[in-house]
Amino acid sequence: MLVGYISTVIKMTILEVKDLKKHYTIGGLFSSKYLVKAVDGVSFKIEKGDNFALVGESGCGKSTIAKIIARLIEPTAGTVFFKGNEIFHDFKNKDNIFRRNIQMIFQDVYASLNPRRTVFQIISDPLKNNKLGNNDAIFNRVVTLLKDVGLTPFESFIYRFPHQLSGGQRQRVGIARALSLEPSFILADEPVSALDMTVRTQILLLLKALQVKHNLTFFFITHDLSVVRAICNKVTVMYLGRIMEMSPTEDLFKNPSHPYTQALISATPIPNPEKARQKKKLLVKGETPSPINPPSGCHFHTRCQYTMDICKKAEPELLSIGKNRFASCHKLQNS
Q: Is residue 1 part of a domain?
A: no
Q: How many structural domains does the chain have?
A: 1
Assign 246 a pLDDT band (cuts: 50, 70, 90): very high
Between 197 and 321, name the one with better pLDDT. 321
Indicate the average pLDDT of the chain: 89
pLDDT of residue 2: 47
pLDDT at 112 over 50: yes
> Which residues, at least 6 apart from 104, have a Cβ–Cβ distance to it below 8 Å?
66, 70, 178, 186, 187, 188, 189
Give the C-alpha separation, 113 to 134, whole Å.
24
Q: Is residue 140 part of a domain?
A: yes
Respond yes or no on whether the N-terminal peptide bond of residue 153 is cis (omega within 30° of 0): yes
Q: Exposure string (b/e) for 255-292, b if CB count within 10 Å is 16 or more?
A: ebbbbbbbbbbeeeeeeeeeeeeeeeebebeeebbebe
Mean pLDDT for 167-185 is 95
Give the C-alpha separation, 43 to 52, whole Å.
13
Q: Phi, psi (5° rounding) for residue 186? A: -120, 125
What range defines the domain where residue 184 resides?
13-334
Give the C-alpha separation, 184 to 189, whole Å.
16
Q: Is residue 303 part of a domain?
A: yes
Q: Is residue 4 part of a domain?
A: no
Q: What angle do CA 175, 71, 300 make, to 5 degrees?
A: 95
pLDDT of residue 22: 95
**pLDDT tens, residue by residue, 62-83:** 999 999 999 999 999 999 999 9
Looking at the whole model, is its pTM more than 0.85? yes
pLDDT of residue 3: 46
Number of residues that make up the chain: 335
pLDDT of residue 198: 85
**pLDDT tens, residue by residue, 11-55:** 799 999 999 999 998 876 666 788 899 999 999 999 999 999 999
Question: Do the beta carbons of residue 63 and residue 55 sit within 8 Å?
Answer: no
We report the CATH number of the domain holding residue 95 as 3.40.50.300
Q: Is residue 18 part of a domain?
A: yes
Give the C-alpha separation, 329 to 331, whole Å.
5
Q: Is residue 63 part of a domain?
A: yes
Q: Which helix (H) or strand (E) holds 229?
A: helix 225-231
Give the C-alpha separation, 171 to 179, whole Å.
12
Residue 143 CA from chain centroid, whole number: 28
Give the C-alpha separation, 258 to 68, whole Å.
26
pLDDT of residue 279: 61
Q: Is residue 8 part of a domain?
A: no
**Residue 129: CB atoms within 10 Å:** 11
Q: Is residue 5 part of a domain?
A: no
